[in-house]
Copies of this chain bind each other. A is one copy, B any other.
């Protein structure tokens, strides 16, 4: 008797019950203002992961040695950002309730808001570590409050804590003047690179606060990662990103996402292959 066709990220073959980490995809890009295509990101990562090894020579670890479950993509409504965010929040909540770590694969960056709402509900003292080329701190974008360009601003409003800066931004090199001025007051923004990350990780580790870790892959230089809606020159290399991820994994990460791969914008397939490798290293780093 023949089996149905199952498609996982490579090596994620645990049962749901045994899993420590649960992957899920959010194929959504309706608010993308410039070049759409991030909706295809999660499926591409899953599909092309079979060009990758499960073993990492960087960490000397193998995915097959850990318990990871891939629950596939959520079927999201393209007509309504709010409805899509609710579905993402709901899936995240289920995973958190089962005491597993949710690992979201976008989709455009707005999807982070859905996951973060659920994480913040469970961990009200959560911090955000944010790798991105863009500040994503606009109050609205062409009139829309729920836009990829506003996602960290919306997260900031959820946190609503004036006692300390709980949003930590790295690699930022694009935004309008107002965003950079907002950041000066309200976030811990580190422009262009990962300067300051070591100190942050030490501080957060000592405090042992929960951390939500969101990686917009366009933090990478546009030569390294052309397949994204708004590629930005002047970014970091893969090895720099890898080292930074491993540092963040030393903190108490309680939820994470990678987003903004738009695979059809890079016919060479390199962006997808690189996203797969980032995800492999992130999974292994979280174990």
Contact = CB atoms under 8 A, between A and B. Distances in A.
B16 A2 contact: yes
Contacts of A267: 265, 267-268
Contacts of A77: 142-144
Interface in A11-53: 16-17, 22, 24, 29-37, 39, 43, 46-47, 50-53
A70 B4 contact: yes
A92 B225 CA distance: 38
B4 A6 contact: yes
A53 to B, nearest CB: 5
Given A43-B47, A53-B175, A273-B232, A6 B5 contact: yes
A269 B79 contact: no
**Size band of the interface chain A makes with B:** 35 or more
Contacts of A146: 79
A242 interface: yes
A7 interface: yes
A231 interface: yes
B223 A234 contact: no
Interface in A239-286: 239, 242, 265-270, 273-274, 277
Interface stretch (A54-62, A123-131, A154-162, A204-212): A54-62
A201 interface: no
Contacts of A80: 143-144
Interface in A99-118: none
A219 to B, nearest CB: 14
Contacts of A141: 78-79
Contacts of A4: 6, 8, 69-72
Contacts of A79: 30-31, 81, 141-147
Nearest to A64: B177
A165 B173 CA distance: 38
A269 B73 CA distance: 22
A52 B230 CA distance: 8
Interface of A: 1-8, 16-17, 22, 24, 29-37, 39, 43, 46-47, 50-55, 57-58, 62, 69-73, 75-81, 83, 91, 94-95, 98, 141-147, 172-177, 180, 191-192, 221-224, 226-227, 230-234, 238-239, 242, 265-270, 273-274, 277
12 contacts: A1-B17, A4-B70, A6-B7, A43-B47, A54-B176, A77-B143, A79-B141, A80-B144, A222-B273, A231-B269, A265-B269, A267-B267
